Structures are given as structure tokens and as C-alpha cells.
Amino acid sequence: MVENGLFVQGFRAAAVRSGIRGKDRLDLGLIVSDVPAVAAGVFTTSLVPAAPVILDRERVAGGRARAVLVNSGIANACTGAEGLGNARACSRLVAEALAIPEAEVLVTSTGVIGMQLDMHCFASGVPDAAGRLSAAGFDAVSRAMMTTDTVPKTAVRTLSVGGRPVRLLGLAKGAGMIMPNMATLLAFVVTDAAVAAAADLQVWLRAGADQSFNRITVDGDTSTNDTLLLLANGLAGNPPLAAASSDLPAFRAALDDLLHDLAMQVVADGEGATKLVTIAVRGAGSDDEATLAARTIANSALVKTAFFGEDANWGRIIAALGRSGARFNPEQVAIRFDDVLMVENGLTLGAAAEARATAILKQQRFTVGVDLKAGSGTAVYHTCDFSMDYVSINADYRS
């Protein structure tokens, strides 16, 4: 259930069993605004964008949207002209069912790459979903989006803007092929806030994505379908937010916090993951070098398997730093597990420190703190461990 049954004024949703993934599974979701909303989107930087990404990029550039369709099971990626045609046909079905302009419909897909959508499922599923829209339907949509996810991912925030209550509601899916690059797998945020200009909303969304979804990794793989959409329909009646609004910092803080919440839910549900680990690097020559260092540690299969084994194998962390491209003096590096200092000046502090660090690693969540002592650059990444279940999930994914 979406927490507290919170609803965002003028948004409704529904999910149905369309048959894409068998008869007994929610696999098609629809989110609709009663009025046209200001829209922003951030998409995969992969050179191989899925068909829905190609379509949505073009439509989001128009700055307005009213509906988002999502299906799981098939990604509609690497599907060529037929796939793009199917994405457009899906949007046409939504437009017809809702009697709205096709240009205001966004479509998203997630699942296996390289297969074509079965349009029969959409021909019946879209009108079915359109007939079931309700303010309580977001919970079902969050379930219909799931692929290898083990739990649905939702988040809500409320704040006051110009004296009016404003609500934000977010949904995300993702467990594998997760190292978003300027976007994420699939995440939708709807808000009843009024926003003056789509271009501003786009700036705020991209900045929020850079500090949330672009800071997580499950497996180092950037998806063909990464899509983050934000629709603001203005029904809260607040003075429209713009760059100079006094309430803008509060709105952006709520948005950033919600995006971060969703991103952490995605990485915590990483395929096979048993632990959520934050990699916090400071003292780098620049923020870019800190990011290189944090991302290299966060993606190292050797580091991630050591986390799974609850082994405070700091040598693998320093080895990852050594190939990361960040500049530093190995004889100055310090490493902490939460508040336990284990490595100082590049050397272990001994068996007692290692025992305390091992106790930290037995926790489900902890932070690896690295101080390169080479400057003032900082970066944070969030990753998970790498378990035997990761392999079994991905060896069998299509079977």
C-alpha cells in the first residue's frame, strides 16, 4: 500500500492483468492526471534507448503530459521500427480510451530486451485499466511494474507551498541492470504542485536524479529503458513555483528527498542483495575523482562478494581505488566501516580493529568511509552485496 493512503489531487491510477506475463499477474499500469500537467523526464544515456524512451524524450520536450502507461515483462528495447510503432500504438490506445491528445501520453516498458510487445494484451488491457482509475490505484501500479523486484517501491512527501498543502507521490521499479546514468530504470513522480515552466521542472528533476538515482549501482549495467518522469498538475492551487519562489528550496528538498528514498529502495532490493552499503569518499582531488573512486568500489565484484561474506577485506577496497583513476597517495588512505577506523595511512590498525569492523559488516546496512587525504572532493554511492542468488537470478532470468 502507498503509505497513509495519501492521494495527490487530480491524479488517478490503475493496474490490470493484461496477459503479457501470464493470466495471474498485474503487468499493465496507467497513471492519469485529470488536467494537463507540466512534465519533465530524465532518460538513459545508453546509445541503445528502448522504443518508449525514444518516444517519451520527444513528448517530454513538449513540456506537458496527462498519462503514463507502464508494462512489465517486455522492455520493447532493440525492437526496431516495429517496436517504435508498437510504442506509438500503445499511446494511441491510451489517448482513445481517455479522449485526450496522443501527444500527452507517455509510455514505458520494462522486462526482457529484444522481444516485441504482444499488442493484443494492450488492446484489451488499456481500456480495462482506463475504466478502473482511482486515487487508490497507485499501489497496484507499483506492483505491476515489478520484474525481479521482490517488493514494490513507493514514497510520498507533503509540504506547504504558499500556504497550500502540496503532495508528491513516487513509484519506482528496478533490481537488475542498475547503474543509472543520468536517469534510472523506471520511476514516476506525480505532484499537485503548480509549476510555472517545464524547463525549470526539468532542471530540478535532473539535479535530483544526479544525487539519487545516479548514485546507486547494483551491477554496473546501465539499462536501455531508464526513465524518470515527473508530472506536476497544479491542482494544489499554490502560486506557481519558479526559480525565484521563496518556497522553491522546500519543494526541491522534498523532491530530492523523495527521489533519494526511491533510489535507496531500488538498491536495497538489488538482485540477490542481502545488504545495503553506502560508499562515502572524501579527501579526493576533486568531486569527479571522488565519484570515480566511490563508483569503482561500489561496482567491484570482489568488494561486493566480500560484503556478502561479511569479510572486512579492506585490501580489495584499496585495490579498487588503485585502478579507479583517482589520484592519491596509498600511504595516506584511511578506511572506516561506520565509525570503526580500520585502516590508517594505508595500513591496517590490527586484529582488534578488524574484529570491530567485521561486526559492522554483519549489519544489514553500513557505510564504508574512505578518506584519500588528497584534497576536498567528496562523493557518495550506494550499492549492495553480490550473493549467490544474484547469479541464480541472472542465469535463469529468461527461462
Question: What are the residues binding its own copies (CB under 8 A)?
Answer: 44-49, 75, 77-80, 112-115, 176-177, 181, 219-224, 299-302, 305-306, 308-309, 311, 313-316, 318-323, 326-328, 330-331, 343, 345-348, 386-388, 390-392, 394-399
CB of 166 to its own copies, least distance (A): 36
Cβ–Cβ < 8 Å for 115, 78: no
C-alpha cell at 368: 564504508
C-beta closer to its own copies: residue 161 or 374: 374
Q: Are 271 and 218 in contact (CB under 8 A)?
A: yes
Closest CA to 126 of 12, 229, 28: 28
- Whole-number minimum distance, CB 16 to its own copies, in Å? 26
Nearer to its own copies, 192 or 385 (CB): 385
Scan for cell 568511509, then name that residue. Answer: 369
Alpha carbons 283 and 108: distance in angstroms, whole number: 40
Exposed / middle / buried, residue 64 (Cβ in 10 Å: 0-12, 13-18, 19+):
middle
In angstroms, give the least distance from the CB of 324 to its own copies.
8
Q: What DSSP letter does each residue of 378-391 carry, written as one string?
A: EEEEEEE---HHHH
Bridge-based pairing state of the strands 28-43 and 227-232: antiparallel
Residue 75 or 241: the one with the smaller Cβ distance to its own copies is 75
Closer Cβ to its own copies, 141 or 306, answer by number:
306
CA-to-CA separations, 28 to 69, 110, 137, 235, 278, in angstroms, rounded:
7, 11, 12, 26, 33
Residues 63/231, Cβ–Cβ less than 8 Å:
no
Question: Least distance to its own copies from the beta carbon of 326, Å?
Answer: 8
Active site residue 79: no
Ordered DSSP codes for 66-80: EEEEEEEEE---S-H
Residue 210 makes CB contacts below 8 A (sequence gap 6+) with 182
Nearer to its own copies, 111 or 208 (CB): 111
Minimum distance of its own copies from residue 247's CB (angstroms):
38
Q: Is 84 helix (H, G, I), strand (E, B) or coil?
A: helix
SS3 140: helix
By C-beta, is 278 or 387 nearer to its own copies? 387
CB of 336 to its own copies, least distance (A): 15
| 115 or 248: CB nearest its own copies | 115
Among 184, 191, 217, 383, which one carries the catalytic annotation?
A: 184
Whole-angstrom distance, CA of residue 267 vs CA of residue 269: 5
Block residue for cell numbers 517486455: 74
CB of 83 to its own copies, least distance (A): 9
Write out the catalytic residue numbers.
184
